[in-house]
Amino acid sequence: MILELLEVNGGILSSYDDYFYGSDYIDAVRNGQVQDKDMVLMLSLDGAQLYRYKQSDYWIYIWIIIDLAPGLRYQKKYVLIGAIIPGPNKLKIVDSYLFPGLHHFSALQKEGLSIWDAFHNVVEISHLFFALGTADGSMTYLNGLVGHHGKNSCHLYCSTVGRHKPGISHYYPAFYKSHNYNVEGCSHEDYSYENPPVHSSEFYEENLWYLMASPNERQYKK
């Protein structure tokens, strides 16, 4: 239906009120990554408090089936629990908790999930499509980057470097340098909003190789 609307209206939609109207999903359908019988899912990770005025006591990640109508997809019976990760300490290696679920998800992507269609009395094969990985403050556990107060806090992993006040470790994504501002490592020239720093997979891979070449744990953390 969405593809038909795009063809009729010259590639323009009158409204964008759901995930399926986004170009990422539409392109995935056009190139065959998502078939009619496939399921589209979203993973979401967040911390939760058992008691008021305390830090997060545990973390939980869930699966949301996006194929359901917006009025249904977030109802409790349709939210699938991925894992409950106990606290109270902060997560260190979240991959160890996410890996079992993602490994199973990957297997279903390759082999398909058998689903009995009771109405037609047939077994359908559905290949899963990972649409979104979401979180708020816990996003750093998913993407391996730093938080919004980090030196390189760009969520697209571009080369933007933040700035901080003298003696304070929190960085801010300030594009323009203040007058009479001179802080080591932060006094770089202004960035342009018209031509912001670009990101690339090559830049990410280069830094990843540098990280993995750390000779010991102290250098790795640094």
Compute the C-alpha angle 198/203/209, nearest 5°. Answer: 165
Judgement on whether residues 117 and 208 belong to the same structural domain of the protein: no
* Eight-class DSSP state of 197: P
Beta strands, E only, the chain: 39-48, 58-65, 79-86, 113-117, 122-126, 128-135
* Under 8 Å between Cβ of 157 and 175: no
**pLDDT tens-place string over residues 162-199:** 999 988 889 998 899 988 888 988 898 898 888 888 88
Judgement on whether residues 163 and 89 belong to the same structural domain of the protein: no
d(CA 57, CA 49): 5
Indicate the residue among 95, 123, 143 that finishes a domain: 143
d(CA 77, CA 75): 6
Judgement on whether residues 159 and 70 belong to the same structural domain of the protein: no
Burial of 28 (0-12, 13-18, 19+ CB in 10 A): middle
List the structure tokens of 137: 């403050």
**Domain for residue 9, yes or no?**
no
Enclosing H/E stretch for 149:
none
Q: Give me the phi and psi of 215, to 5 degrees please.
A: -75, -20
Judgement on whether residues 39 and 112 belong to the same structural domain of the protein: yes
**Domain for residue 204, yes or no?**
yes
Which three-class secondary structure state does DSSP give residue 140?
helix
Say yes or no to pLDDT of 56 above 70.
no
* Under 8 Å between Cβ of 48 and 57: yes
3-state SS of the chain: helix, strand, coil percent to 5?
30, 20, 50
Say yes or no to pLDDT of 1 above 70.
no
Q: Model-level pTM?
A: 0.75
Collect all residues with Cβ–Cβ distance below 8 Å to 216 and sequence separation of at least 6: none
What count of Cα atoms within 13 Å lies in the side-chain half-sphere of residue 175?
A: 8
Domain count, the chain: 2
Indicate the residue among 108, 143, 178 that finishes a domain: 143
Q: What is the pLDDT of residue 212?
A: 92
Say yes or no to pLDDT of 53 above 90.
no
List the structure tokens of 165: 């006040």
**Domain for residue 68, yes or no?**
yes
Judgement on whether residues 150 and 113 belong to the same structural domain of the protein: no
**Domain for residue 165, yes or no?**
yes
Judgement on whether residues 65 and 93 belong to the same structural domain of the protein: yes
**Domain for residue 38, yes or no?**
yes
Position 75 confidence tier, pLDDT thresholds 50, 70, 90: very high
Percentage of the chain lying above the pLDDT 70 cut? 95
DSSP letter string over 154-167?
Answer: -TT-BS---B--TT
Position 27 confidence tier, pLDDT thresholds 50, 70, 90: confident
**Domain for residue 72, yes or no?**
yes
State the virtual CA torsion across 113, 114, 117, 118 in degrees, nearest 10: -130
Q: Which domain holds residue 85?
A: 34-143
